[in-house]
A and B are shown apart, each in its own frame.
Chain A
Amino acid sequence: MSAPVLEARGLVKYYPIGGGPLRRVAGQVKAVDGVDLTLGPGETLGIVGESGCGKSTLAKVLAALERPTAGEVTVCGRPVGRLRGRALRRARRDVQLVFQDPYTSLDPRMTIEAIVREPFEIHRDLAPRGDRRARVRELLETVGLNPDHCGRYPHQFSGGQRQRVGIARALALRPRVLVCDEPVSALDVSVQAQIVNLLERLRDELDLAYVFISHDLSVVQHLADRIAVMYLGKVVEIGGEDDVYRNAGHPYTQALLSAMPVPDPGLRGRREEIVLTGEPPSPIDPPRGCSFHPRCWKADERCRAEPPALTAWRGAGHAVACHRPEVWSPAGGTEGEVSATR
């Protein structure tokens, strides 16, 4: 594999609680707690997990919007951790973020043109002043918007169109990597498909690599080459699409897959159901040992005492953080359907 465009080593991000001048820190939110990731050029890495698992924080740290508490992010071979000010801003160009909520991620007082042009005003070397307007129109066209609408304000657009504006803004800097933080979760199904297709097209045309973060397993499955499953700030399973969706080893991955609603009433009652009890514990005070053990049906003494490391399991590139991984795949038609079309 060619040199990775984005790499994270031992990434940790804690947020102090109640801290501040003259106030004692009451605790730490362990949002991201030791994550290693590698992203090759043109690759799509899906990250799935439930709310509070740290996937959004991970997105911000990867895009250098937040400084990690420990660990290092390397972009195209350059570690960004020690950069400050102008150099940091220069380095951020290669990794751009697409936000979840198209209603809040665009400045309501700026026209679409001003929003997409802002990157050029910050990085003046990108395009000479005279070319900027043309570049903005070109970018709007690339994401499927009518460039004649560039004088409009965000509220005059629908959710899907706003998301396209956000993507155009991110593309202006010619990034190598787009970190998409739940880019379609706020959109309706039909619009969601438009954006998913757009992201796929851009990946092919511009040779982009994606970190695609979502709680929606089916969207991630559609787009991702490799998938990382996060639970309480840690990656609990990582592997190719086939490994994770059909040969899941971690009980949490298995529960997620089983809970994923499948749009086929014929499968009702035919799928193996794993309904977890309880909800993810608080990242302020994660359980000792394996952080999943309080909800796990296989947990034993060892799981309660000793946190499992993410270790290679079965094929190449498939790793699971579980003391007793077992192969499992969602029973019923999902698999049959796939083999039928292959």
Chain B
Amino acid sequence: MASSTPVSASTDLRPVVRTGLTRSPAFVISATVVLIICALAVAPQAFAGWFGHGDPRACDLADSALPPREGHPFGFDVQGCDLYANVIYGARSSVAIALLTTLGTVVVAVVVGCLAGYFRGWTDMLMSRLVDVFLGFPALVGMIVILQTLSTHNEFTVSAVLILFGWPALARVMRGSVLAVVNSEYIAAARGIGAGPVRILLRHVIPNSIGPVAVLAGLNVGGIIAYESALTFLGVGLQTPAISWGVQLNTAQQYFTTSIHLLVFPSIFLTVTVLGFVLLGDALRDAIDPRIR
């Protein structure tokens, strides 16, 4: 009786994603926000010039920290540059770091999780203990220490440090999900027809176990942007003359009593972006996870 509903119907996400997602308002809104942010990152020049002053580097110290006025809806920053253009251009590094870091953590997590879950034994023990060490370590302190010893602080170094401390949680999830898949009969069947470990991992294990990791990574994107801003705010992330929301907020902290707009506008963009990614990840998880549906 119970066997009449195939078990796998719930694990195949294609139809679910197609039908369920587009009807969910949370998904539609968050996807729109994320799309807009990505467009800002890819082509800031298309948006920055909307109010006639599209160059973030065209500054006049005479305008330093002036409040919004005609043609400068967000006002000016401390250097006298148009804040609106700066905030638009700031999306690029935030999104770049978010994507780089997400990609990096997922790759590392998938590799480590697969090795640990598939080969078990010593590999598993070493990998799992390594994960435990990283998870037990105060990540923020570690990032600050490492970034302080580095001479260059660009998108790549910041991403690298975020990846270094970001993969363990995902790797643990991946390992669990690999363990569940590896004992499936279709893995035994693949071995039976002579498939080697590489093929089994690439063709069968990873496609069937990456779901939870992908969803979790989506949820993490917002967190990464927030983390990047925090690092920059603490002075160990990106540094001027780089344009990023973190840098802008870092500068704003000294002036916000007198020029509140320096703090408000980058914060709004940061918050909306983080929320957009978190909601998107949430909606994706709800759509895929059969227990929640």
User: With an 8 A cutoff between CB atoms, is B19 at the interface?
Assistant: no
Q: List residues of chain B with CB within 8 A of the CB of A169.
A: 189, 193
User: With an 8 A cutoff between CB atoms, is A336 at the interface?
Assistant: no
Cβ of A108 and Cβ of B8 under 8 Å apart? Answer: yes
Q: Known: A60-B188, A159-B3, A186-B3. Contact between A108 and B12, CB under 8 A?
A: yes
With both chains docked as a complex, state the minimum distance between the C-beta of A58 and any C-beta of chain B, in angstroms. Answer: 14
Cβ of A104 and Cβ of B7 under 8 Å apart? Answer: yes
**Quick one: which of B8, B120, B122 contacts A155, CB cutoff 8 A?**
B8
The listed residue with most A CB atoms (<10 A of its CB), out of B6, B9, B12, B190, is B6
Over the window 125-148 of chain B, the binary record of Cβ atoms lying under 8 Å from chain A Cβ atoms (1 yes, 0 no) is 100000000000000000000000
The listed residue with most B CB atoms (<10 A of its CB), out of A85, A109, A170, is A109
Over the window 1-16 of chain B, the binary record of Cβ atoms lying under 8 Å from chain A Cβ atoms (1 yes, 0 no) is 0010011110110000
Contact stretch, chosen from A90-98, A236-244, A303-311: A90-98
User: With an 8 A cutoff between CB atoms, is B52 at the interface?
Assistant: no
Cβ of A104 and Cβ of B185 under 8 Å apart? Answer: yes
**Quick one: which of A85, A89, A99 contacts B185, CB cutoff 8 A?**
A99
Q: List residues of chain B with CB within 8 A of the CB of A159.
A: 3
Interface residues of B in 236-291 (CB under 8 A from A): none
Complex CA–CA separation, A150 to B79 (angstroms): 65
Over the window 84-123 of chain A, the binary record of Cβ atoms lying under 8 Å from chain B Cβ atoms (1 yes, 0 no) is 0100011011001101110111111110000000110011
Complex CA–CA separation, A74 to B91 (angstroms): 65
Cβ of B8 and Cβ of A154 under 8 Å apart? Answer: yes
**Quick one: which of B121, B194, B208 contacts A122, CB cutoff 8 A?**
B194
User: With an 8 A cutoff between CB atoms, is A166 at the interface?
Assistant: yes
With both chains docked as a complex, state the minimum distance between the C-beta of A157 and any C-beta of chain B, in angstroms. Answer: 8
Interface residues of A in 208-243 (CB under 8 A from B): none
With both chains docked as a complex, state the minimum distance between the C-beta of B270 and any C-beta of chain A, in angstroms. Answer: 37
User: With an 8 A cutoff between CB atoms, is A15 at the interface?
Assistant: no
Complex CA–CA separation, A109 to B186 (angstroms): 11
Q: List residues of chain A with CB within 8 A of the CB of B189.
A: 97, 99, 105-106, 166, 169
Complex CA–CA separation, A55 to B207 (angstroms): 31
Complex CA–CA separation, A103 to B7 (angstroms): 7
Q: State the interface size on chain A (CB cutoff 8 A).
A: 38
User: With an 8 A cutoff between CB atoms, is B151 at the interface?
Assistant: no
Cβ of A122 and Cβ of B192 under 8 Å apart? Answer: no
Over the window 172-207 of chain B, the binary record of Cβ atoms lying under 8 Å from chain A Cβ atoms (1 yes, 0 no) is 000000000000111011111111100100011001
Cβ of A96 and Cβ of B186 under 8 Å apart? Answer: no
User: With an 8 A cutoff between CB atoms, is A315 at the interface?
Assistant: no
Complex CA–CA separation, A155 to B290 (angstroms): 15
**Quick one: which of B6, B121, B186, B190 contacts A20, CB cutoff 8 A?**
B121
Interface residues of B in 207-221 (CB under 8 A from A): 207-208
Look across to chain B and name the residue whose beta carbon is closest to the beta carbon of A92: B194
Cβ of A103 and Cβ of B193 under 8 Å apart? Answer: no
| A-B pair number, CB within 8 angstroms | 94
Look across to chain A and name the residue whose beta carbon is closest to the beta carbon of B197: A85
Cβ of B186 and Cβ of A104 under 8 Å apart? Answer: yes
Look across to chain A and name the residue whose beta carbon is closest to the beta carbon of B185: A105
Q: List residues of chain A with CB within 8 A of the CB of B191.
A: 65
Look across to chain A and name the residue whose beta carbon is closest to the beta carbon of B11: A108
Q: List residues of chain B with CB within 8 A of the CB of A122.
A: 193-196, 199
Complex CA–CA separation, A97 to B204 (angstroms): 18
Q: List residues of chain B with CB within 8 A of the CB of A20.
A: 120-121, 125
With both chains docked as a complex, state the minimum distance between the C-beta of A187 and any C-beta of chain B, in angstroms. Answer: 9
Look across to chain B and name the residue whose beta carbon is closest to the beta carbon of A101: B185
Interface residues of A in 16-75 (CB under 8 A from B): 20-22, 60, 63, 65
Cβ of B6 and Cβ of A103 under 8 Å apart? Answer: yes
Q: List residues of chain A with CB within 8 A of the CB of B124.
A: 21
Cβ of A108 and Cβ of B185 under 8 Å apart? Answer: no
User: With an 8 A cutoff between CB atoms, is A255 at the interface?
Assistant: no
Cβ of B125 and Cβ of A109 under 8 Å apart? Answer: no
Cβ of A90 and Cβ of B121 under 8 Å apart? Answer: no
Cβ of B185 and Cβ of A173 under 8 Å apart? Answer: no
Cβ of B204 and Cβ of A21 under 8 Å apart? Answer: no
Complex CA–CA separation, A110 to B207 (angstroms): 10
Cβ of A118 and Cβ of B192 under 8 Å apart? Answer: no
**Quick one: which of A65, A93, A155 contacts B188, CB cutoff 8 A?**
A65
Interface residues of B in 25-42 (CB under 8 A from A): none
- Can you name 5 A-B residue pairings with CB atoms under 8 Å? A89-B194, A92-B192, A99-B189, A118-B193, A155-B9
Known: A107-B186, A108-B8. 10 other contacts (CB 8 A): A65-B191, A97-B189, A97-B192, A103-B8, A106-B8, A106-B186, A108-B11, A122-B194, A154-B6, A154-B8
Pairs of residues from A and B, 3 with the lowest C-beta to C-beta distance, nearest first: A108-B8, A89-B194, A105-B185
Which residues of A come within 8 Å of B, CB atoms? 20-22, 60, 63, 65, 85, 89-90, 92-93, 96-97, 99-101, 103-110, 118-119, 122-123, 153-155, 159, 166, 169-170, 172-173, 186
Which residues of B come within 8 Å of A, CB atoms? 3, 6-9, 11-12, 120-122, 124-125, 184-186, 188-196, 199, 203-204, 207-208
